[in-house]
Amino acid sequence: MGVSNTTYNSVLMINADLEEVKKFRQRIMAIETGTPTPVARIEKRAAYSEEDDFLNKTPYKPISEIRDLIEKTVCVTIGVVKDFSPGKSWWYKSCNICPLAMREVGDGYKCSRCNAESQNFTPRYSLNLKVADEESYASFIVYETVGSEYLQISAEDLRTKHILRGGNRIEFPEELSKFKNKTFLFKVSVKLENINSFQPVSITVMKLCHDEAIISSFKQKYSIDQDAFFPANSDVITLPADYSDINKE
Q: Is 93 helix (H, G, I), strand (E, B) or coil?
A: strand
Q: How far apart are CA 71 and CA 73, in angstroms?
A: 6
Instruction: Give pLDDT, residue 242.
Output: 42
Instruction: Give pLDDT, residue 187.
Output: 98
Mean pLDDT of 22-45: 49
73-184-180-80 Cα dihedral, nearest 10 degrees: -80
Instruction: Give pLDDT, residue 121.
Output: 92
Tell me the per-residue pLDDT of 208-218, one tens digit each, with 9 for 90 and over.
Answer: 999 999 999 99
With a CB cutoff of 8 Å and minimum separation 6, the contacts of 72 are 189, 190, 191, 192
The CATH code belonging to domain 49-91+125-221 is 2.40.50.140
Instruction: Give pLDDT, residue 193.
Output: 87
Name the average pLDDT for the chain: 81
Tell me the per-residue pLDDT of 124-154, one tens digit each, with 9 for 90 and over.
Answer: 999 999 999 988 899 999 999 999 999 999 9
| Pairwise pLDDT comparison (54 vs 243), residue with the higher score | 54
Residue 60 DSSP label: B
Instruction: Give pLDDT, residue 246.
Output: 38
Q: How far apart are CA 207 and CA 190, in angstroms?
A: 13
Instruction: Give pLDDT, residue 131.
Output: 94
pLDDT band at 26; cut points 50, 70, 90 = low
| Pairwise pLDDT comparison (229 vs 231), residue with the higher score | 229
With a CB cutoff of 8 Å and minimum separation 6, the contacts of 186 are 76, 77, 78, 79, 131, 140, 205, 207, 208, 209
pLDDT value at 116 more than 60? yes
Instruction: Give pLDDT, residue 239.
Output: 44
Tell me the per-residue pLDDT of 173-197, one tens digit each, with 9 for 90 and over.
Answer: 999 999 999 999 999 999 998 877 8
Instruction: Give pLDDT, residue 240.
Output: 45
Alpha-carbon distances of 142 from 34, 35, 179, 181, rounded to whole Å: 21, 19, 11, 16
C-alpha of 86 from chain center: 18
